[in-house]
Chain A
Amino acid sequence: MFRNVSELVDLATNQNKKISEIMIEQEMTVTGRTREEIFSQMDKNLRVMEEAVERGIRGVKSHSGLTGGDAVLLQKYIEKGNFLTGKTILDAVSKAVATNEVNAAMGTICATPTAGSAGVVPGTLFAVQKKLKPTRSEMVAFLFTAGAFGYVVANNASISGAAGGCQAEVGSAAGMAAAAIVEMAGGTPAQCAEAMAITLKNMLGLVCDPVAGLVEVPCVKRNAMGAANAMVAADMALAGITSRIPCDEVIDAMYKIGQSMPVALRETAQGGLADTPTGRLLQAKIFGIVRD
């Protein structure tokens, strides 16, 4: 059993196993289910993620009209080939956006670790899939690795925007994705932890300020940037860059920052972008009322 990232990395390193394998073994111990049952449930979740991305890339629109269609724009832009960054990173961003646009439209998604942050993990997975050409089992393993890091964050800090702000949701998702990308790309368990730490450090302090209380603005674009952050951090970790602050301490810092965040910035739609003139105007238009 692992309780923090350091124990997780030690377990994997000492037994010469991947982090995904440690997570699967722990799940078998905790639930008493077989490897096949656990694997097949995760494969089902993967299928839900694939369907959500496919739907988002074809184009959806939310009921409020605030979000939808950006994944399509980005895919078309990638096809033209004149992009400034890179194809894989933009593909990740567009697929993260696609998933969250489907979520905003009350479509079916798989929470990773939450619905509001559900785009980052699948977005990066399906983008690096093109580059790394993993087997189906390796794709499922990606989700177990992401899950292992999310498990540590959820138990030692929080994955709730109402409790810890967006850093707890998209921040956690991005860290989980970065770690999983590193494993799929052949990095060590320690490098997975470095990627998680580098990502989360750059998400610290991010508030949860959804306009009109909808999981749309700025959630969809925060998933986009969470995916970009994860991709860059994964490359940094694979290059051998390490975090001066250990991953567990970054997670602890995230928790403490969340606790000291004002309630107005924790999913109450009272502060931040929700409280801008345009944010308030959109709220009034959607619900026909303005609340203070």
Chain B
Amino acid sequence: MKYKSVFDIIGPVMIGPSSSHTAGAARIGRVARSLFGREPKWANISLYGSFRETYKGHGTDVAIVGGILDFDTDDIRIINAIKIAEERGMKLNFIEEDAVTDHPNTARIIIGDEQGELELVGISIGGGKIEITELNGFELKLSGNHPAILVVHNDRFGAIAGVSNILAQYEINIGHMEVSRKEKGKLALMTIEVDQNIENKILNEIEQLPHVLKVTKIVD
């Protein structure tokens, strides 16, 4: 079941005109921002399929930037997001891609500053609901509807048990979890959706585990 809540259907409350091309687009941008953890200095935004064909009419470009600025779907500032981003000195680049993707509403967002960058692919599946399908080259499936932690780790035995043990100690329930790796024995990514927001203290503890390289979180 892709849609779990009645509020996926009756909702979200949002700025028009399109739930998939405006609200969903804003949510994809906001997940990128949340994972990056700070306001980026630049953003390269690639649009595919129906996003590419209709982004001007739907305000998809504006909405993604609104999300990158951490605006929610019903935040009226979304309308002026591009202007606000430029005023804050953010460099924006929009790319209309010809490639055919699995889903017609696909965006690839690369954001960064002098300290680092982040690349993410999101799809908008209808009614404002989204999924993140790729993060820094890792394939994953993330709804963005729940708090989640993302753990970059070495592909070794015990790494997953270590992380789940810490979550169990703090009585944190895992709603959805998956592991993705680029190559056997190399870098891997754990995606863990949980029921409540996780304190930084717990994240730090996870980061201290052997084989764990980096931990980030998405707040609800």
Contact = CB atoms under 8 A, between A and B. Distances in A.
Given A151-B3, A155-B2, A163-B126, A111 B12 contact: yes
B20 A114 contact: yes
A213 B3 contact: no
A112 B16 CA distance: 12
Contacts of B53: 213, 267-270
Contacts of B19: 111, 113-116, 118
Q: Is the interface of B mostly helix, strand, loop or mixed?
A: mixed
A108 B9 contact: no
A215 B10 contact: no
Interface stretch (A40-48, A128-136, A185-193): A40-48
B76 interface: yes
A123 interface: no
Contacts of A26: 6
A27 B5 CA distance: 6
A115 B78 CA distance: 16
A116 B50 contact: no
Interface string A101-142: 011111111111111101001000000000000000000000
A143 interface: yes
A128 to B, nearest CB: 17
B16 A215 contact: yes
| Residue among A107, A114, A210, A216 with max Cβ neighbours from chain B (10 Å) | A114
B22 interface: yes
B104 A144 contact: no
Contact of A106 (B2, B3, B13, B17): B17
A263 interface: yes
A161 interface: yes
B71 to A, nearest CB: 13
A154 B16 contact: no
A214 B57 contact: yes
Give the bracket for the number of chain B residues in contact with chain A: 35 or more
Contact of B104 (A38, A45, A266): A266
Contacts of B21: 267
B13 A44 contact: yes
| Residue among B20, B49, B124 with max Cβ neighbours from chain A (10 Å) | B20
Interface in A241-261: none
A162 interface: yes
A31 B57 contact: no
Contacts of B195: 32
| Residue among B17, B21, B103, B104 with max Cβ neighbours from chain A (10 Å) | B17
Given A45-B11, A144-B6, A155-B3, A111 B127 contact: yes
A148 interface: yes
Nearest to A20: B6
A287 B104 contact: no
A210 B125 CA distance: 18
Interface in A6-63: 23, 26-27, 30-32, 38, 41-42, 44-45, 48
A23 B124 CA distance: 25
B49 to A, nearest CB: 7
Given A147-B6, A162-B105, A104 B127 contact: no
Contacts of A105: 16
| Residue among B16, B23, B104 with max Cβ neighbours from chain A (10 Å) | B16
A269 B15 contact: no
Contacts of A155: 1-3
B11 A110 contact: yes
Nearest to A215: B17
Interface string B97-108: 000000111000
A143 B18 CA distance: 20
A23 B6 contact: yes
B7 A109 contact: no
A115 B2 contact: no
B49 A162 contact: yes
B10 A146 contact: yes
Contacts of B128: 111, 114-115
B113 interface: no
Contact of B15 (A38, A107, A147, A216): A107
Top-10 shortest CB links A-B: A160-B126, A213-B54, A213-B57, A103-B16, A150-B9, A215-B17, A214-B57, A147-B6, A115-B19, A162-B50
12 contacts: A45-B10, A45-B13, A107-B16, A108-B74, A110-B11, A113-B126, A115-B16, A115-B128, A147-B10, A161-B20, A161-B126, A162-B20
Interface of B: 1-23, 49-50, 53-59, 74, 76, 79, 103-105, 124-128, 195
Given A45-B10, A109-B16, 12 more contacts: A32-B195, A106-B59, A107-B16, A108-B15, A108-B76, A112-B9, A113-B126, A115-B22, A214-B17, A267-B21, A269-B54, A269-B57
